[in-house]
Homo-oligomer: A and B are copies of this chain.
Amino acid sequence: VGITFETRDRDGLARIGRLSTAHGTVTTPTLLPVVNPNLRTIEPAELHRMGFGMVITNAYVIRSKPELALRARQEGVHKLLGFPGPVMTDSGTFQMYVYGDVEVTNREIVEFQRDIGVDVGTILDLFSTPDRTHAQARADVDGTVERAREAVPLAGGMGLSMPVQGSVHPDLREACARAYRDLPAVVHPIGGVVPLMEQQRYAELAEAILAAKRGLRHGRPVHLFGAGHPMMFPLAALLGCDLFDSAGYGKFARDGRLMMSWGTVHLADLEELPCACAACAGTTPAELWAMPAAQREARIARHNLLTAAAELARIREAIRRGRLWELVEERSRAHPSLLSALRAVAGHAEWLERFEPLSRPSALLYTGRETLRRPSVLRARRRLSERLTFPGAKEVALLPARGKPFSSHWGMHWAPARSRGLALACPSIFGPVPLEADEIWPFSQSVELPEDVGEESAPWNHAFASSHDLALVPVPPELAQGGTEGFDAARVRATIEYQFGREAAGPLLAGKMDLVKARNGRIRNVLVDGEHILSIRAEDGLATLRLPGARRLHAVAPPALRVTVTDDAIPFVRDGKSVFARFVQDADPELRPFDECLIVDARDRLLGHGVCLLNREEMLDAERGMCVKVREGVGSA
């Protein structure tokens, strides 16, 4: 089918996507406002003008009203709604949940959706409520997957939406998602979660989403069915949800409830409107009360939509800047159940870390102890412990937290300290960071933490040291100023070890090292035996490989740093062309998004090097799109 989903940027599982159908393209994460065919609080054309490029309506409701069904069959759903963009439909599953049953079969509703020209139509899946036992939920999943299989040959040109069911049983959510891997769905909703959202059971919701994400093919858009409150958008986006939909903007408006990014406020409780939106500015609650009900309702509905749109824009901007986790931390203070959910998510940090970009310049602010459970903090702690543990030193002097940045103050002491077997380290939330690594992200960020984090990180710094048989000692006052000899080389080595692993430093640095420095004294280019092997980036202190460096790295045993491509890709990569999904045969499971990587053929011959956009499991899953942006091919250099 002609429906595509392309990832433009990412931040962990979250992504900026472009979902395209014959009727247009929307940038995700986004909200599909629900259009009720019987009751239009806001006209669909106005929704489009407000920037909502795609809507969802209910095919079952249309089909149940003969006059609507007839018009839909004759004119198509776009004309029926008066909406020019992509239209998705739901199938009656929710009505089945509310009323117990519906008078339509899966086959009938899929065909009806196809016939009225919807862009993305949903199978009649089995709504699996949170109170279903494991056995009941398994039956829901089996029945749902069977209906998905039945729908495939009926869909025609319509894209199929196949919801993931499984109630609150993570194994069933994952199994349902896995069963869809080889079916041609264009959207995967997480279904059956409305009761969880209504009861603000966000921790269970997060577990359900994560279980589904583990099973689903990476790269397909995920829709959180019935999610329309902006207060939970950041969390859902963080977990990799791309689409939201809800009739909430109108329903809340009818009750006089205003959605805010931090929760809901009722008009009756307000003396003034705590909102700058175009629907609220300059208006008072008293003036809203004085309006006719329909007019007030439309005003509040517009407020609800504008608020949702702004929060989605903030989320997309946060993804682009690698700051979504921080936004979720901020929002998690708005309600205890969101905080519970964040803590539940942090319990999956080990898995989430695989999707976490290697570096996001300046994107690690400390916002409370929850920060310490971030996947990127987990990784930094692990790499610090495994790769940067002060070889040759028996004692470590923790520098005083004042006087940052550390190296500009303490660099002169590095050489004399090392000559007596003493390492200098910066205290941090990751443990003691070697002075020579203090410009590597995120260590470069951690030294800007507020003073009082000291208390929290002190035990960690001590535990770290003792687990590596190091004595933490005070800074010796008699440390002579002895110059920085060897400090630059140690910096380069630390960068390589942190980024490529301990075993990479030997082959990369064998020979005579020369450095090109920027005017501010920071290392820019590293040459070995006259060859430019890598550059150090100012923004994150990490290395950008050059081809001579890639050749040297290639000496490290596979699968380290490799992306292996099929033979038909060989000439293209050698020429410097990027690697697309269908050419990837395998990859190093340790590669992370935005890591530098080597591209090799099946016989491990080096073809080029580049930046991977995906991790191994994502590359192997991807149905289309770029996996590695190649910097240089061996034939193009």
Footprint of B on A, CB under 8 Å?
50-51, 203, 262, 265, 269-278, 280-282, 306-307, 309-311, 313-314, 316-317, 320-321, 326, 329-330, 332-337, 339-340, 343, 365-370, 448-452
**Chain B residue at minimum C-beta to C-beta distance from A307:** B276
Residue of B nearest to A9 (CB): B271
Q: Is A450 within 8 A of B281, CB to CB? A: no
Task: List the B side residues contacting A451 at CB < 8 Å.
Answer: 203, 340
Cα separation A334 to B261 with both chains bound (whole Å) = 14
* Given A277-B276, A320-B271, A343 and B452 contact (CB-CB distance below 8 Å): yes
Q: Which residue of chain B lies nearest to A344 when distances are taken between CB atoms in the complex? A: B452
How far does the alpha carbon of A201 sit from the alpha carbon of B336 in the complex, in Å? 29
Q: What is the distance, in angstroms, from A439's C-beta to the closest C-beta of chain B?
A: 20
Closest CB of chain B to A6's CB: distance in Å? 16
> Bound state CA distance, A448 and B307, in angstroms?
28
Q: Which residue of B lies closest to A16 (CB)?
A: B271
Inter-chain contact A306/B281, CB cutoff 8 Å: yes
Contact of A310 among B275, B366, B448 (CB under 8 A): B275
A-B contact pairs, 9 of them (CB 8 A): A271-B320, A272-B317, A274-B311, A274-B316, A275-B276, A276-B278, A281-B306, A333-B368, A336-B366
Partner of A369, one of B316, B320, B343, B369: B369
Taking a contact as CB atoms under 8 Å apart, the answer to whether B336 and A450 are in contact is yes
Bound state CA distance, A409 and B195, in angstroms?
A: 25
Q: Is the beta-carbon distance between A277 and B274 smaller than 8 angstroms?
A: no
List of B residues within 8 angstroms of A281 by Cβ: 277-278, 306, 310
Q: How long is the Cα–Cα vector from A335 to B343 in the complex, in angstroms?
A: 20
Q: Complex formed: what's the CA distance from A51 to B451 in Å?
A: 39
Q: What are the residues of chain B within 8 A of A278 when measuring CB–CB?
A: 276-278, 281-282
Closest 3 CB pairs of A and B: A274-B314, A276-B310, A276-B277
Q: Which of B274, B282, B343, B368 contacts A317 (CB 8 A)?
A: B274
Residue from B316, B340, B367 within 8 A of A339 (CB atoms): B367
Known contacts A262-B330, A369-B369; decide if A274 and B336 are in contact (CB<8 Å).
no
Q: Which residues of B sit under 8 angstroms from A365, Cβ to Cβ?
A: 335-336
B366 touches A339 (CB 8 A): yes
A585 to chain B, nearest CB (A): 35
Q: Are A271 and B317 in contact (CB-based, < 8 A)?
A: yes
Interface centre among A278, A307, A320, A337 (most CB of B within 10 A): A278
User: Which residues from chain B contact A449 at a C-beta distance below 8 Å?
Assistant: 336
Q: Which residues of B contact A450 (CB under 8 A)?
A: 203, 336-337, 339-340
Q: Are A313 and B272 in contact (CB under 8 A)?
A: yes
Which of chain B's residues has its CB closest to A312's CB? B274
A49 closest partner in B (C-beta): B282
A270 and B334 in contact, given A278-B281, A368-B368, A368-B370 (Cβ under 8 angstroms): no
Residue of B at shortest CB range from A452?
B343
Distance (whole angstroms) from the CB of A612 to the closest CB of chain B: 24
In the complex the two chains form, is A275's CB within 8 Å of B313's CB?
A: yes
The complex places the Cα of A51 from the Cα of B282 at a distance, in Å, of 7
Q: Which residue of B lies closest to A202 (CB)?
A: B450
Closest to A343 in B: B452
Q: Which of A203, A321, A333, A337 has the most chain B CB atoms closer than 10 A to its own CB?
A: A333
CB distance from A304 to the nearest CB of B (A): 10
* Docked-complex contact A309 and B276, CB < 8 angstroms: yes
Q: How far does the alpha carbon of A51 sit from the alpha carbon of B281 in the complex, in Å?
A: 10
Q: Which residues of B contact A335 (CB under 8 A)?
A: 365
Instruction: Please state if A276 and B316 are interface contacts (CB–CB under 8 Å).
Output: no
**A90 vs chain B, min Cβ distance (A):** 27
Q: Using Cβ atoms and an 8 Å threshold, which residues of chain B touch A320?
A: 271
